[in-house]
Amino acid sequence: MRLFARVAERRSFSLAARDLGVPASTATDAVKQLEGRLDVRLLERTTRHVAVTPDGEAYYRRCLAILDDIEDAEGAFGGAKPKGVLRVDVQGRLARRFLLPSLPRFFAEYPGIELHMSESDRFVDLVREGVDCVLRVGELADSAMVARRIAVLPEVTCAAPSYIERFGMPERWDRLEGHRMIGFQSSATGYVLPLEFQVDGFLKTVTLPSVLSVNAAESYGAAAKLGLGIIQVPRWGVEDAFAEGSLVPLLEATPPSPSPVSLLYPKSRQLSPRVRVFIDWVVKEFRPAMTC
């Protein structure tokens, strides 16, 4: 199972064999014996390419769960540290800001863990895609996943000095006539999100005219620095811009609602030790942002 799973991941018998420290012929023979015993073709082979068949894909997912259980059972004895492959999907800006800088310390503590980190904002079918957990920001839609909220990140309203010179400094959230915003399109609905303001315990929304709408955080911030409109973003993401003066905070008495950050994992899957230590580490790495 380990050999087959590695071949399916690497799309190569030789690479899988090298990863597991066995001859390539051993990997080839092992998969052939497995296919013979199951009486199904798990892999399609050509001289240049190895592809997983639909039966192979289904068997691969089952193998992952079984191998996880074996590793967890063996790791329960002798105080062994968690090890094995950990597959996570994160939002790129969150990973680069909060996770990547501390990964060397994580691997120093858990040298047996191999982390596969993909970046996306899309819905991920954790069970079908073999992902252990996903990290997401924002309110979550109902799903069959377990969601653990690990942080609530403050947000801020801001604009460039050149925008303020042209349109003036906003004084109140409900007196924004003549102002404009940069639209941010929701990845879930495709609609432009309104500006949000917390006023005396209530959430108020305002939609201003805009000459530009985007669906990427990097473009959102870059357009604001060009003076194209007001934006609302996580405060941690614009600290440097505030320090250098390319953006200025606005309407701080009525800030946007904060953004929750959550880790999601399947209800049907028992958390392995390596997933548990990863979650604990992520919680620790996000703790400083709670006070930004």
User: 209-263 pLDDT, tens per residue?
Assistant: 999 999 888 899 999 999 999 999 989 889 999 999 999 999 999 999 998 888 8
pLDDT at 285: 83
CATH number of this structure's domain 155-257 = 3.40.190.10
At the top level of CATH, the class of 1-80 is: mainly alpha
Please report where in the chains the tokens 């105080």 appear, as a residue: 79
User: 89-139 pLDDT, tens per residue?
Assistant: 887 777 888 888 889 999 999 998 888 888 766 555 555 556 778 888 777
| Alpha helices, DSSP H, located in the chain | 2-10, 13-20, 24-38, 54-75, 92-94, 103-109, 126-129, 161-167, 217-225, 239-244, 273-286
CA dihedral 107, 111, 113, 115 (to 10 degrees): 40
Long-range contacts of 276-280 (CB under 8 A, 24+ apart): 276/82, 277/82, 277/110, 277/113, 278/86, 278/88, 278/106, 278/113, 278/115, 278/132, 278/133, 279/133, 279/148, 279/150
Beta bridge partner(s), residue 203:
198
Pairwise CA distance, residues 46 & 197, whole Å = 59
Pairwise CA distance, residues 34 & 37, whole Å = 5
Question: How far, CA to CA in Å, does 131 sit from each of 134, 157, 219, 247?
Answer: 8, 35, 29, 38
Identity of residue 14: S
Q: How many CB atoms lie within 10 A of CB 117?
A: 15
- Average pLDDT over the chain reads 85
When pLDDT is averaged across residues 197-208 and rounded to a whole number, the result is: 94
140 or 107: which leads in pLDDT = 107
pLDDT at 41: 92
39 or 20: which leads in pLDDT = 39
**3-state secondary structure (DSSP) of residue 56:** helix
Domain ranges in the chain with CATH number 3.40.190.10: 155-257
Domain ranges in the chain with CATH number 1.10.10.10: 1-80
pTM: 0.66
When pLDDT is averaged across residues 31-38 and rounded to a whole number, the result is: 92
CA dihedral 59, 64, 69, 74 (to 10 degrees): 120
CB neighbour class for 200 (10 Å; exposed up to 12, middle 13-18, buried from 19): exposed
